[in-house]
Chains A and B, each alone.
Chain A
Amino acid sequence: EDQVTQSPEALRLQEGESSSLNCSYTVSGLRGLFWYRQDPGKGPEFLFTLYSAGEEKEKERLKATLTKKESFLHITAPKPEDSATYLCAVHNSGYALNFGKGTSLLVTP
Chain B
Amino acid sequence: EPEVTQTPSHQVTQMGQEVILRCVPISNHLYFYWYRQILGQKVEFLVSFYNNEISEKSEIFDDQFSVERPDGSNFTLKIRSTKLEDSAMYFCASSQDTPPREQYFGPGTRLTVT
A contact set with B: CB distance below 8 Å: 31-32, 34, 36, 41-46, 49, 51, 87, 89, 91, 94-102
Contact call B55/A102, Cβ cutoff below 8 A = no
Contact call A95/B42, Cβ cutoff below 8 A = no
Interface range on chain B (Cβ under 8 Å from partner):
20 to 34
Determine the distance from Cα of A23 to Cα of B56 in the docked complex, in whole angstroms: 25
Contact call A49/B55, Cβ cutoff below 8 A = no
Contact call B105/A43, Cβ cutoff below 8 A = yes
Total number of residue pairs linking A and B with CB closer than 8 Å: 67
Most B C-beta atoms less than 10 A away, residue of A36, A46, A95, A100: A95
Contact call B48/A43, Cβ cutoff below 8 A = no
Determine the distance from Cα of A32 to Cα of B106 in the docked complex, in whole angstroms: 21
Contact call A102/B42, Cβ cutoff below 8 A = yes
CB distance from A31 to the nearest CB of B (A): 5
Determine the distance from Cα of A41 to Cα of B109 in the docked complex, in whole angstroms: 9
What are 6 of the A-B contact pairs (CB < 8 Å)? Answer: A32-B99, A43-B108, A44-B43, A46-B103, A94-B99, A97-B45
Contacts of B110 in A (CB 8 A): 41
Contact call A42/B99, Cβ cutoff below 8 A = no
CB distance from A96 to the nearest CB of B (A): 4
Contacts of B91 in A (CB 8 A): 43-44
